[in-house]
Amino acid sequence: MVDESWPSEWLKGILPLCVLAIVADGETHGYAIAQELGARGIPGVKGGTLYPLLSRLETDGYVQTRWTQGPSGPGRKLYVPTTLGRRWLEENSARWLEFLSTTQRFLQHPTESDAQ
């Protein structure tokens, strides 16, 4: 079984990209984003981490928000990506995959000094 707790340093680097990818799938609210993160393998992201991140994404112009009435309670803040946000997601997804490939080379292939 894979340990489902990831080092905070790793999450800090990738969480904005993951959150924006979820928002790009369709207008959604914070609780649903947290649930989807968990379903996709990043469980336990707390509101104290998620909501400041969503606020930064909004401040940076990557998402827009609107309030809507909740189905049986208080209103919900919904998030949707902007054109700038979609562009940022596309560019940084490609960059992250490059970084992942580079990292894999370090971890999967021994150096000459390791082989001796």
How confident is the model over 1-54, as pLDDT tens digits?
344 678 889 898 899 999 999 999 999 999 999 999 999 999 999 999 999 999
- Asked if residue 56 has pLDDT above 80, the reply is yes
For the domain made up of 10-109, the CATH class stated in words is mainly alpha
Work out the angle at residue 99's Cα, subtended by the Cα atoms of residues 114 and 112, and round it to the nearest 5 degrees.
15
Percent of the chain scoring above 70 in pLDDT: 91
**Helix ranges (DSSP H) in 1-116:** 8-24, 30-39, 47-59, 83-108, 112-115
Is residue 18 within 8 A of residue 42, CB to CB? The reply is yes
Helix axes 47-59, 8-24, angle to 10 degrees: 60
Give percent above pLDDT 90 in the chain. Answer: 70
Return the higher-pLDDT residue of 4 and 87: 87
pLDDT for 4 equals: 60
Model pLDDT, residue 1: 33
Give me the mean pLDDT over the 67-79 stretch. Answer: 86
pTM: 0.84
Place of tokens 């960059």: 95
Mean residue pLDDT of the chain comes to: 90
Q: Are 58 and 24 in contact (CB under 8 A)?
A: no
The residue ranges of every structural domain in the chain are 10-109
10: which strand partners? none
The pLDDT value given to residue 3: 47
